[in-house]
Amino acid sequence: MERVPLGIKKIDALLKGGVPEGSCILLSGEPGTGKSLIMQKLVYNHLKKGNSVIYVTTDRTSERLVEEVKDYGMDYFKYVKNGQLKILDTYVGFVRKSEKGFSYADIRDLTEISIKIEKLRRELEGRKFVEVYDVISELFIWNKDKDLVLRFISSVCSSGSNKSIALFFVINEGIEDDRYINSIKSVVDGVLLFGVSEDKRWFKISKMAKTSVSTKKHYFNITEDGKIRIL
Ligand SMILES: Nc1ncnc2c1ncn2[C@@H]1O[C@H](COP(=O)(O)OP(=O)(O)O)[C@@H](O)[C@H]1O
Ligand SMILES: [Mg+2]
């Protein structure tokens, strides 16, 4: 079985090389625990290797995302221009015409989002790509029918698992009902939990298909220049 590395050496070592190819992974934790930074780094590592990426952003515009990672030394724009990075911007209130390689969808319209995702997947057919959804919590905030959001997430996961090499969903804890988080945890193949206790950041692998892992907490730091240092 092939594995898909995150590109963060120590985490990949814990995962025996990476997450299983074709898997859906959930990153869950309170806001500010480092989930987005890990995703932004994973995306950049895959782009640098020549893989492509579908990045669905819900809690910041694509412009803000590109600006933010630039501050940390990652040039996303270069990869938007060469077609390797496809950003789908669903930031509410910002429904604009697609431009400069960015695409847009209304976060309150799950059908539109599905259609746009399928379009991006077709554009990347024959290439290796990962998909990142940061954060799916916003889908629950903006859509009244929570069961529909759950169905949307599980259909994105099952329809993507034979197209992309891995899918990553980020969720902020403390916003939705635990019921929804738990059903997503049961649908996905892997769960990485993030937290902060006594001023120390940690993550743990609470579930990973086809991988024997310890469920202990691993403490880490984020350095000034945005490096993840496992302690
Ligand atoms: N590139 C970076 N360099 C330094 N610190 C960072 C960087 N990215 C994030 N951080 C710090 O890590 C914290 C957690 O970031 P983030 O990944 O956005 O959390 P989450 O997505 O879990 O809400 C931020 O509040 C910030 O203090
Ligand atoms: Mg975040």
Q: What is the pLDDT of residues 179-204, one digit of tens each?
A: 899 999 999 999 999 999 988 999 99
How would residue 156 be classed by pLDDT, with cut points 50, 70 and 90?
Answer: very high
Q: Are 146 and 177 in contact (CB under 8 A)?
A: yes
Q: What is the pLDDT of residue 215?
A: 87
Q: What is the pLDDT of residue 230?
A: 94
How would residue 94 be classed by pLDDT, with cut points 50, 70 and 90?
Answer: low
Write out the DSSP string of 68-110: HHHHTT--HHHHHHTTSEEEEE--TT-----BTTEEE--TT-H
Q: Looking at the predicted structure, is the pLDDT value of residue 216 above 90? A: yes
DSSP code for 173:
T
Q: What is the pLDDT of residue 16?
A: 96
Q: Looking at the predicted structure, is the pLDDT value of residue 106 above 90? A: yes
Give the span between the Cα atoms of 217 and 220, in whole angstroms. 10
Decide whether any atom of ligand 1 lies within 6 Å of the 151 Cβ: no
Q: Looking at the predicted structure, is the pLDDT value of residue 95 above 70? A: no
Decide whether any atom of ligand 1 lies within 6 Å of the 23 Cβ: no
Tokens of 224: 């000034």
Atom 18 (ligand 1): residue with closest C-alpha? 36
Q: Which ligand is nearest to the CA of 32?
A: 1
What CATH number was assigned to the domain covering residues 3-230? 3.40.50.300
How would residue 209 be classed by pLDDT, with cut points 50, 70 and 90?
Answer: very high
Q: Which ligand is nearest to the CA of 59?
A: 2
Ligand 1 atom closest to residue 37's alpha carbon, by position in its atom list? 17
Instruction: Report the pLDDT averaged over residues 12-30.
Output: 97
Decide whether any atom of ligand 1 lies within 6 Å of the 37 Cβ: yes
Q: Are strands 228-230 and 218-222 parallel, antiparallel or unpaired?
A: antiparallel
129, β-bridge pairs: 52
Q: CA torsion sign, 26 to 28 to 31 to 34?
A: negative
Write out the DSSP string of 102-165: EEE--TT-HHHHHHHHHHHHHHTTTS-EEEEEETTHHHHHH-S-HHHHHHHHHHHHHHHTTTSS
Q: What is the pLDDT of residue 98?
A: 61
Instruction: Report the pLDDT averaged over residues 160-170.
Output: 97
- From the list 200, 70, 92, the residue with the least C-alpha distance to 139 is 92
- Give the residue, out of 68, 202, 222, 224, with the most ligand 1 atoms within 8 A of its beta carbon, to mutate for a pocket test: 222
